[in-house]
């Protein structure tokens, strides 16, 4: 009884003295066991030390705060989950943020810019039209000129917004699964946006779109340079292609010098073989022979590349460590020096998978492609279909199509060379270098996207290279002109182009704190270990998953139910289960798992292994960790993890 009275007394004390920190943890979201309530500030918010708004100080727009309590229309907030209290915010000036999901604009080079509507109903009506083009085209004609259009509150900037250099938030406040009239699936997203400087304005479309490709862009583009790094398989079968690559470099370097452009297109070369622990005589897994800018004349190139030769012994596997070569090119070259960023992979073999002990990166194609996307570097693959690799071709093609998928043009940059023809290979590599060099020449004359309107009769490769060149220029101009997202807006948009539904407008990401990333790593590690029991049999593997769910505090009765999937068993963290994405493993139940072939189960295991290695890269990628609120602990910094990189 005394304990009850004491508890009541303490409760009353907390109610009377609300400004004291009686709660050392933020409030939980309704129905949640681990998700805290969070809000984002808008430009009108002021932070006060009392729940009356007096003597409030301005706070950066879209600062993220945790909610510790509510009183009289105010929310008591802190910068993190440690119990530190920052003060009070008028609740009506804040925006609830249940899950830290956000959107990043994709490069607009291959699609029309996104339009953001004031109301959900307006967007839905357009998506339900059999011919949305008839409505959208007149709207675009107005808003792209900075004029107002009924129901539209903002448009995407004309040039690319670089998240890493011009930080912006495009948080998802609400979402609805939907579809267009033709049956194409889509998400309708309620979003808000503000740039990092917190500047707020009465938004008009004329000021929402950022700077265009006018005279300022024409002036800025003249300094556009391209870096091309060849990543060449140097295994025992590759000498003819090594020699032909050297010849291509010599030819284009001579032409560039004649045109006075030798400083505008610079070449590098990385070669790769396989694991030297398995075969020491291979000498190296990957090696940089030349970085862009290290040589500008034919003689300098030949001197740098004189020791580049094929291996004298065979590797242990037919697959080679291509991902090691790509990773070296991504990490050792200063890509910030270039607007055009190209890696050209040349190989006749598949890539060693990340889960293989011989892999030096322990990453797969999807993770390497994600790292290239962060650096805005395109990977162009020339796959040599030699007779020796006939049994390997299909697998390698699938790997390299994934590796070379480019978000900017939403297409793959994979090309195959029939029968491994050295002549065909030489023509293709010469043509590639010539096209890129010509794009740079036109850019040096102040011409943005020159040639992009006249490619209807071009080859598929030329069309891709032209679109890619334009995308690279938009990336470059976005950096040089300081293009920002709209200062502050709330509205509705679709995640796909409203006319061409095959085009993705945005890249969805979840902003994970360091603690959440660490928790994700631990969860995936434990699931991976449980899945690895597959070698003992499917039933044992799923039994291990059940044991893991019990350790995580799941209801024992639920865990016993064989019809429930991993999410329903409580195995997936709440924030993962709440995300708007399709998990490869979350929907698996015991019957589904048992129905998978050993190869399919092994594929899941290997995928989890590669994701774990990728999370390590995220943890060490200090430049992309950002703080969403002043005074927050280091563990509250967030990292934009694409939803496709989740388990």
pLDDT digits (tens, 9 = 90+) for 195-210: 444 443 323 222 333 3
User: For 190-198, what is the mean pLDDT?
Assistant: 64
> What count of other Cβ atoms lies within 10 Å of the Cβ of residue 272?
29
Write down which residue in 96, 115, 136 finishes a domain.
Answer: 96
Residue 591, C-beta contacts closer than 8 angstroms, at least 6 positions apart: 562, 563
DSSP 496: B
Backbone angles phi, psi at 246, to 5 degrees: -60, -40
Rg, C-alpha atoms of the chain: 27
- Report yes or no on 90 lying in a domain: yes
Rounded distance between C-alpha atoms, residue 483 and residue 113, angstroms: 14
DSSP 28: B
Global pTM value: 0.73
- Report yes or no on 629 lying in a domain: yes
- In the prediction, which pLDDT does 456 show? 42
- In the prediction, which pLDDT does 365 show? 96
In the structure, what pLDDT confidence band is assigned to residue 288 with cuts at 50, 70 and 90? very high
In the structure, what pLDDT confidence band is assigned to residue 280 with cuts at 50, 70 and 90? very high
Q: Where are the alpha helices (DSSP H) in 38-143?
A: 120-127, 133-143
- Report yes or no on 335 lying in a domain: yes
pLDDT of 582 strictly over 80: no
Rounded distance between C-alpha atoms, residue 242 and residue 140, angstroms: 49
Backbone angles phi, psi at 40, to 5 degrees: -110, 140
The secondary structure of 172-213 as a DSSP string is EEEEEEEE-TTS-EEEEEEEEEEETT-------HHHHS---S
In the structure, what pLDDT confidence band is assigned to residue 458 with cuts at 50, 70 and 90? low
- In the prediction, which pLDDT does 631 show? 79
Rounded distance between C-alpha atoms, residue 228 and residue 218, angstroms: 23
Q: Please check whether residues 489 and 477 belong to one and the same domain.
A: no
User: For 49-72, what is the mean pLDDT?
Assistant: 90
- Report yes or no on 7 lying in a domain: no
- Report yes or no on 9 lying in a domain: no
- In the prediction, which pLDDT does 212 show? 43
Count of helix runs (H) and strand runs (E) in the chain = 18, 24
Question: Residue 231 belongs to a domain with what CATH number?
Answer: 3.40.50.410
pLDDT of 96 strictly over 60: yes
Q: Please check whether residues 241 and 198 belong to one and the same domain.
A: no
Q: Please check whether residues 471 and 615 belong to one and the same domain.
A: no
pLDDT digits (tens, 9 = 90+) for 214-234: 555 556 666 788 899 999 999
- Report yes or no on 30 lying in a domain: no
Q: Please check whether residues 527 and 546 belong to one and the same domain.
A: yes
Q: Please check whether residues 489 and 469 belong to one and the same domain.
A: no
Nearest to 53 by CA among 67, 72, 26, 78: 72
Q: Please check whether residues 305 and 453 belong to one and the same domain.
A: yes
Q: Please check whether residues 236 and 122 belong to one and the same domain.
A: no
pLDDT digits (tens, 9 = 90+) for 585-629: 877 888 888 888 888 888 888 899 999 999 999 999 988 888 888
> What count of other Cβ atoms lies within 10 Å of the Cβ of residue 345?
27
**508 within 8 A of 105, measured Cβ to Cβ:** no
Q: Please check whether residues 74 and 198 belong to one and the same domain.
A: no
CA quadruple 606, 398, 380, 470: dihedral, nearest 10: -100
**Per the structure, how many domains does the chain have?**
4
Strand partners, 437: none
Rounded distance between C-alpha atoms, residue 611 and residue 522, angstroms: 12
Pick the range with the lowest mean pLDDT from 21-35, 177-191, 317-331.
21-35
Q: Where are the alpha helices (DSSP H) in 445-513?
A: 460-480
Nearest to 495 by CA among 127, 99, 98: 127
Q: What is the per-residue burial (b if ≥16 Cβ within 10 Å, else e) of 410-429?
A: bbbbbbebeebeeeebbebb
In the structure, what pLDDT confidence band is assigned to residue 533 with cuts at 50, 70 and 90? low
SS3 call for 301 = helix
- Report yes or no on 276 lying in a domain: yes
- Report yes or no on 561 lying in a domain: yes
User: For 566-584, what is the mean pLDDT?
Assistant: 75
- In the prediction, which pLDDT does 539 show? 54
Q: Please check whether residues 154 and 292 belong to one and the same domain.
A: no
SS3 call for 90 = strand
Q: Please check whether residues 443 and 299 belong to one and the same domain.
A: yes
Q: Please check whether residues 461 and 524 belong to one and the same domain.
A: no
- In the prediction, which pLDDT does 16 show? 34
The secondary structure of 406-458 as a DSSP string is ETTTTEE-EEEEETT-HHHHHHHHHHHHHHHHHHHHHHHTT-TTTTTTS-TTS
Nearest to 532 by CA among 583, 584, 598: 598
Which of the two residues, 453 and 417, has the higher pLDDT score? 417
Domain with 110 in it: 101-207+484-504
Nearest to 266 by CA among 253, 248, 250: 253
Q: Please check whether residues 323 and 191 belong to one and the same domain.
A: no
pLDDT of 108 strictly over 90: no
DSSP 281: G
**224 within 8 A of 341, measured Cβ to Cβ:** no
- In the prediction, which pLDDT does 389 show? 86
Share of the chain above pLDDT 90, in %: 40
- In the prediction, which pLDDT does 217 show? 59
């Amino acid at each position: 009884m005394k304990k009850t009275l004491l508890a009541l007394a303490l409760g009353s004390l907390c109610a009377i003295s609300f400004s004291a920190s009686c709660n050392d943890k933020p409030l939980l979201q309704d129905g949640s066991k681990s998700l805290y309530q969070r809000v984002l500030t808008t430009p009108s918010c002021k932070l006060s030390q009392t729940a009356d708004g007096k003597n409030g100080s301005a706070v950066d727009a879209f600062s993220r705060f945790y909610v510790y309590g509510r009183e009289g229309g105010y929310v008591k907030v802190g910068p993190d989950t440690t119990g530190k209290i920052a003060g009070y915010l008028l609740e009506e000036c804040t925006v609830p943020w249940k899950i830290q999901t956000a959107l990043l604009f994709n490069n607009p080079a291959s699609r029309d810019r996104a339009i953001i509507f004031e109301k959900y109903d307006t967007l839905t009506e357009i998506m339900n039209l059999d011919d949305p083009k008839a409505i959208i085209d007149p709207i675009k004609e107005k808003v792209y000129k900075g004029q107002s259009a009924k129901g539209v509150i903002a448009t995407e900037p004309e040039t690319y917004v670089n998240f890493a250099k011009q930080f912006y938030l495009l948080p998802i406040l609400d979402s609805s699964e939907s579809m267009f009239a033709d049956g194409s699936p889509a998400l309708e997203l309620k979003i808000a946006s503000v740039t990092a400087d917190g500047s707020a304005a009465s938004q008009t479309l004329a000021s929402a779109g950022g700077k265009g490709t006018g005279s300022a862009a024409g002036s800025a583009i003249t300094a556009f340079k391209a870096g091309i790094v060849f990543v060449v398989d140097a295994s025992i079968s590759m000498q003819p292609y090594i020699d032909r690559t050297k010849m291509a470099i010599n030819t284009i370097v001579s032409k560039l010098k004649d045109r006075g452009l030798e400083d505008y297109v610079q070449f590098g070369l990385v070669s790769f073989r396989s694991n030297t622990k398995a075969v020491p005589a291979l000498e190296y897994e990957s090696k940089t022979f030349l970085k862009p800018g290290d040589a500008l004349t034919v003689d300098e190139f030949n001197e740098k590349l004189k020791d580049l030769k094929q291996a004298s012994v065979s590797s242990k596997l037919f697959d080679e460590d291509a991902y090691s070569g790509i990773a070296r090119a991504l990490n050792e070259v200063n890509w910030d020096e270039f607007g055009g960023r190209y890696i050209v992979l040349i190989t006749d073999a598949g890539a060693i998978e990340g889960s293989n002990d011989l892999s030096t990166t322990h990453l797969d194609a999807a993770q390497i492609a994600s790292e290239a996307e962060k650096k805005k570097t395109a990977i162009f693959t020339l796959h040599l279909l030699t007779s020796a690799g006939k049994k390997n071709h299909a697998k390698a093609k699938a790997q390299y199509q994934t590796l070379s998928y480019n978000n900017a043009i939403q297409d793959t940059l994979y090309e195959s060379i029939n029968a491994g023809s050295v002549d065909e290979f030489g023509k293709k590599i010469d043509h590639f270098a010539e096209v890129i060099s010509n794009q740079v020449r036109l850019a040096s004359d102040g011409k943005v996207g020159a040639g992009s309107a006249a490619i209807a009769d071009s080859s598929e490769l030329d069309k891709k290279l032209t679109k890619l060149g334009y995308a690279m220029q938009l990336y470059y101009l976005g950096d040089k002109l300081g293009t920002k997202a709209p200062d502050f807006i709330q509205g509705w948009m679709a995640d796909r182009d409203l006319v061409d539904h095959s085009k993705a407008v945005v890249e969805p990401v979840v902003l994970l704190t360091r603690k959440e990333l660490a928790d994700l790593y631990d969860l995936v590690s434990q699931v991976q270990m449980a899945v690895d029991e597959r070698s003992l049999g499917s039933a044992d593997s799923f039994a291990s998953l059940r044991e893991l769910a019990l350790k995580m505090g799941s209801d024992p009765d639920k865990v016993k139910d064989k019809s429930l999937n991993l999410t329903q068993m409580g195995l997936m963290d709440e924030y993962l289960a709440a995300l708007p994405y399709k998990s490869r493993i979350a929907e698996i139940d015991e019957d589904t798992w048992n129905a998978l072939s050993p190869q399919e189960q092994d594929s899941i295991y290997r995928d989890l292994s590669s994701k774990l290695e990728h999370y390590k890269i995220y943890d060490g990628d200090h430049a992309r960790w950002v703080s969403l609120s002043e005074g927050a602990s280091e563990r509250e910094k967030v990292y934009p993890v694409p939803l496709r990189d989740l388990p």
